[in-house]
Amino acid sequence: MTDTGFEKVPARNRRRFPGISSRAYEHPADRSALVALRKLSGFDTVFKALSGLLPERSLRLLFLSESVRVGETQFPHLHGMLRDACYILDLERVPQMYVQQDPKPNAMCIGLDEPIIVVTTGLVELLDEEEMRAVVGHEVGHALSGHAVYRTVLLFLTGLAMKVAWIPLGNVAIMALVTALREWFRKSELSADRAGLLVGQDVNASLRGLMKIAGGNHLHEMNVDAFLAQAEEYASSGDLRDSVLKILNVLPRSHPFTTVRAAELKKWSQNRDYQRIMDGHYPRRDEDKDASVSDSFRQSASHYADSVRTSKDPLMKLVGDLAGGAGDLGGKLRDKFTGAGAGAGAANGSAGAGEGKGSPGGATEQPG
């Protein structure tokens, strides 16, 4: 191999996933939305028509004229990574890939009909070979999932919001959709991070790449464990004021915060779902048409409920406590009106009954 400026990493065999469905690695919230969209009759036709409203063709021409197209004679190491990623995830058509001169590390996958991948020189110069392999896998994961839909609709609705800003409440309604789509888009980034791990099959390289995107090319000055500790501190520290500030900070973003992405990916890498995929047990693409929308939504709802229940964020803990309290109160009211608690009350003897006399509020003083 010619010298490309990348750290030399010994070649190794990687597992391949023939026929893998993107449902295998998609975040529950991302998966439920995509399953629902794929069930819509005429979905592809509508969104391809919608993409025509955006300068997709213009962007293709721009990258062709102002960037370097990756191939066997230009950035051959990236070309090899791209082909490997498509082979591992069994993507039949290899997307075109471009390197764009930009010192800011970035990568994206755009286009609905024929996705193209763009990486910046800042990213190419920042990451070593295994880290870059995870990024290429991330973008191929976007292509396999069809995530360009998010970007297309988001851009369209953002532009529409500006045009209807003069209509009373019109802008509010559109921006509500934009906010929901941004949340959807952020979850799609977590999905693509998982795809990157399936391609690179080196969790440490994936985490290093995220850390370097946050802190630059100073690997000798950084530590992955300490970086993950930042994510833990971010998730659990502060009070309700900080919780509100976190929400306000993330709302306008298309990507989750980098430490959060690292923590989520580390958690997924230790999950049995990841190990099952690595063992060859995963949903197949030819089964996508039979995927249940209701099951996907239940999984998504269950994920969010678990997130609230296990979260260390003060606001999420409050929400969980309130939900638990409401459920407990509902149970008490149900027992009161159905008489389900009568046997327990009798078993408690006359002391319980005596406490209730002359004290209408006495029952509310019982510990929850």
Query: Which amino acid, residue 304?
Result: Y
What are the Cα distances from residue 303, in Å, to 35, 38, 270, 300?
16, 21, 16, 5
Name the catalytic one among 130, 131, 139, 264: 139
Annotate 98-119 with b (16+ C-beta within 10 A) or e (fewer). Answer: bbbeeeebebbbbbbeebbbbb
Q: Can you point out the beta strands (E) in the chain?
A: 68-69, 96-100, 107-110, 116-120
User: How many helices (H) and strands (E) would you count in the chain?
Assistant: 17, 4
**227 neighbors 182 (Cβ within 8 angstroms):** no
Buried b (16+ CB within 10 A) or exposed e, 219-236: beeeebeebbebbeebbe
List beta partners, residue 109.
Answer: 117
Q: Cβ(209)–Cβ(81) under 8 Å?
A: no
CB atoms within 10 A of CB 22: 25
CA distances from 55 to 58, 177, 245 (A): 5, 22, 35
Per-residue DSSP letter, 198: H
CA distance 81 to 135: 10
> What residues form DSSP beta bridges with 20?
284
Pairing of strands 96-100, 68-69: antiparallel
Q: What whole-number distance in Å separates Cα of residue 103 and Cα of residue 269?
A: 31
Half-sphere exposure of 109 (CA within 13 A, CB side): 27
CA distance 255 to 183: 9
Reply yes or no on whether 355 is catalytic: no
Given a contact cutoff of 8 angstroms between Cβ atoms, the answer to whether 293 and 26 are in contact is no
d(CA 246, CA 200): 31
> Which residues are known to be catalytic?
139
